[in-house]
Amino acid sequence: MHRVVTIDGPAGAGKSTVARLLAGRLGWRFLDTGAMYRVVTLAALRAGTDLEDPDALDRLAAGLDAAFPPGRVLLAGEDVSQAVRDVAVTRATRFIADCAAVRGRLVAWQRAVADRDDVVTEGRDQGTIVFPDAFRKFFVTASDLERARRRHEELRAKGADSDLEAVLADQRARDARDASRAIAPMRPAADAETIDTTGMTIDEVVALLHRKVLPSP
Ligand code: DC
């Protein structure tokens, strides 16, 4: 197996941005595992699959034609990078995240990537379940309000109509579900280092993680 740096943490902590930039600095591959859960969700919504039927979800995931070229998500060749971030998709991801059979398939995809390349991977269960022997593990978080503000600003920058209170309420609900899930709940691995990014810029976080991954001699 190649070297793996895991970045787990709650929604809106900036994990994707930080993981992507850190991977760029290291020259390693970036793995956005949330995008995998999202593309299965999008495909299920489009196909009208019963989200409460684990067998149907597993069949859908087994036949899924998804690809993750750098920075993009493709579904049957169509670029769905924006579509997978829709609020409707975000809300429905819990059905996919709670489905053991689908999780098993996605974990296998994730490990296959790390068989080929050094990776910086981000998600909820990367340090605990998927890569227990990772080279370095981080749990990246920030205060509730700061995380909600970041997502709110991001949505507004894209021209979306966003309400901070609604973003905060959705985020709290998703955090609670992610942390209490029966399988692969979100929690820091025992050997993960927690990084609280409240009040830090993205560049500061990336520089800090970079120093921790590859301390200068
Ligand atoms: O990080 P994100 O918001 O793109 O993740 C979308 C959902 O996918 C999240 O609510 C929980 C789920 N998820 C998961 O269960 N395990 C992962 N490794 C990554 C995401």
10 Å Cβ neighbour count for 152? Answer: 20
Q: How far is CA 21 from CA 73, 104, 138, 203, 214, in A?
A: 18, 28, 15, 9, 15
Rg, the chain, Cα only: 17
Q: Which structural domains are found in the chain, ordered by start?
A: 1-28+117-210 (3.40.50.300), 35-116 (3.40.50.300)
Cα atoms in the Cβ-side hemisphere of radius 13 Å centred on 213: 26
**pLDDT band at residue 1, thresholds of 50, 70 and 90?**
low
Task: Out of 33, 113, 121, give the residue to mutate to test ligand 1, the one with the largest number of ligand atoms within 8 Å of its CB.
Answer: 33
Give the tokens for residue 99: 């489905």
Residue 146 has pLDDT above 80, yes or no: yes
Residue list, ligand 1 pocket, CB within 6 Å: 11, 33-34, 37-38, 93, 97, 123-126, 174, 178
Q: Summarize the confidence of residues 143-156 as an average pLDDT.
A: 93
Residue 120 has pLDDT above 90, yes or no: yes
Amino acid at 199: G
Determine the Cα–Cα distance for residues 175 and 190; give it in Å rounded to an integer.
Answer: 19
In tens, the pLDDT along 79-99 reads 999 999 998 999 999 999 999
Pair 126, 15: CB distance under 8 Å: no
Q: Long-range pairs for 195-203 at CB < 8 Å and ≥24 separation?
A: 195/138, 195/139, 195/140, 195/141, 196/141, 196/142, 196/143, 197/13, 197/14, 197/18, 197/140, 197/141, 197/142, 197/146, 198/142, 198/143, 198/146, 199/146, 202/14, 202/17, 202/18, 202/21
- pTM, full prediction: 0.93
Q: What is the distance in A from the centroid of ligand 1 to the CA of 124?
A: 6
Q: What is the distance in A from the centroid of ligand 1 to the CA of 97?
A: 7
Give the tokens for residue 184: 């692969």
Task: Out of 124, 138, 167, 175, give the residue to mutate to test ligand 1, the one with the largest number of ligand atoms within 8 Å of its CB.
Answer: 124
Strands lying side by side in the sheet with 4-8: 29-32, 119-123, 4-8, 136-141, 193-196
Alpha helices for 31-128 (secondary structure H): 33-47, 54-62, 87-97, 100-116
In tens, the pLDDT along 29-48 reads 999 999 999 999 999 999 99
Sequence length of the chain is: 217
Out of 129-138, 195-204, 208-217, which region has the weakest mean confidence (pLDDT)?
208-217
Please state at what angle helix 202-213 crosses helix 15-26, rounded to 10 degrees.
50
Per DSSP, 161 falls in state -
| Partners of 74 in the β-ladder | 67, 79
Determine the Cα–Cα distance for residues 146 and 168; give it in Å rounded to an integer.
Answer: 10
Please state at what angle helix 54-62 crosses helix 33-47, rounded to 10 degrees.
110
